[in-house]
Amino acid sequence: MKKMRLSILACIVAMVFVTFSNVSEAQDAKPRKSPKASVTQRIGVDTDIVIDYSRPGVKGRVVWGDIVPYGLYPGNSYSKEKDYPWRAGANENTTIEFNHDLKIEGKKIPAGKYGIHMIVSEKSVKIMFNKKNADWGSYSYNSSEDALTISVIPVKDQHMEWLEFNFDELSDNGATAYLRWEKLKIPFKIELAN
């Protein structure tokens, strides 16, 4: 009986410790400078497209050609000195997920979840949909894992302070997804594969 009371007491002490630890961690947590966001669009009868990303702000900085370089970022210790593309957002990989095969800019891609990476130039943007989708940034990006690579033409747009992914040009079997940030919009057309 004494052992049972000690076991119960030990369990209560452990639960109290865990509860106060979680409360303390939550109080110490600070909002991200680039908050997480998600956007979902249904096309057709039951095809859902979900883009998860983090939203950096312009904050008076030069975005295109500076924060986001033209070409690749130069290698660093995180990338093992290998040049790497932009993560199409901030923090973890920006991802796109869909439950049925699709065509993006007319090219087929199987249903799944992909990391989105981009190489930006002044006249075009190369977008890579990579099978590896759970990394921090694009530091370990490997082109051999690309499921699809497309090139699109960016367009000038109204100022957007916080990076945004969204959809427009909706139809019964497709939509145009886009990234908008600062005064640039990077669109890519998505359609049902059948």
Q: What is the pLDDT of residues 135-160, one digit of tens each?
A: 888 999 999 999 999 999 999 999 99
Q: Report whether pLDDT(2) > 70.
A: no
Q: How many CA atoms lie within 13 A of 167 on its CB side?
A: 18
Q: What is the pLDDT of residues 7-55, one digit of tens each?
A: 555 545 455 454 444 544 455 688 878 899 999 999 999 999 999 999 9
What is the DSSP pairing of strand 174-192 with strand 107-109?
unpaired
pLDDT value, residue 30 = 83
pLDDT value, residue 4 = 56
Vertex 112: Cα angle to 95 and 57 (nearest 5): 10
Backbone angles phi, psi at 55, to 5 degrees: -110, 90
pLDDT value, residue 1 = 58
